[in-house]
Structure 1
Amino acid sequence: MEWVYLIIAGMFETGWAVGMKYSEGMSKLYPTAFMLTCLVISMLLLERSLRVLPIGTGYAVWTGIGIMGTTILGILLFNESANMLRILCIVMIAAGIIGLKVLSVN
């Protein structure tokens, strides 16, 4: 169950990062509320998963999911570059996350 918490926490990390962009310096109420809600949920679920998972594995997976999600949404929502090297980097991060899961003793 801790891996489920961790994956969902990573998704909410993506949510607060994108919400931060939409909040325009926390000057817009609804995007700021969305960002803060995602931040709290992300942290609570990360903490829950780290009760069982090693901190290095959990934190690396959490940030990796956030990096991948934020980069993909940046491409889709904010017209950021989608060149092949960026896509390759996302694939390498995904491979690292999968590797950490496969090699985890939990």
Structure 2
Amino acid sequence: MAWILLVLAAMLEIVWATALERSDGFTRLWPAVIGVATAALSLVILTFVLRSLPMGTAYAVWVGLGALGVAVAGIVALGESAAPARLLCLALILVGVIGLRILDG
């Protein structure tokens, strides 16, 4: 259950980062509200995950999946670079997350 919650918290990272980007520096109300609210919810879920998983593993997976998701969202939705070297680095993040999951058992 902790791993499912951890993935959910990471998915919320994607939402809040995207919403804050859309808030135009907090000048647009609803994207800003969504961003702050989902950031808080993501953090709350992470605190529950930390009851069951080691801090280093949970935080690395939370940040890694969140960063990976935000980068993919940027490529797909915003036309950011999909250069092979960038995609390779993103794949390495995913490999690291998978490795942490396997090692945690």
Shorter chain as denominator, the TM-score bin is over 0.9
* 1:78 equivalent in alignment to 2:78: yes
Q: CA deviation at 1:79?
A: 1.2
- The residue aligned with 1:102 is 102
Q: CA deviation at 1:2?
A: 0.6
Secondary structure at the residue paired with 1:53? coil
Structure 1: how far apart are the matches of 2:27 and 2:62?
27
- The residue aligned with 2:53 is 53
- The residue aligned with 2:13 is 13
- The residue aligned with 1:66 is 66
* TM-score between both structures, scaled by the size of structure 1: 0.95
Within a 5 Å distance, the mapping from 1:26-41 to structure 2 comes to 26-41=26-41
Which stretches in structure 1 are left out of the alignment for 5+ residues? none
Code of the aligned partner of 2:44: L
Which stretches in structure 2 are left out of the alignment for 5+ residues? none
- The residue aligned with 1:90 is 90
* TM-score between both structures, scaled by the size of structure 2: 0.96
Secondary structure at the residue paired with 1:91? helix
Percent identical pairs in the alignment equals 39
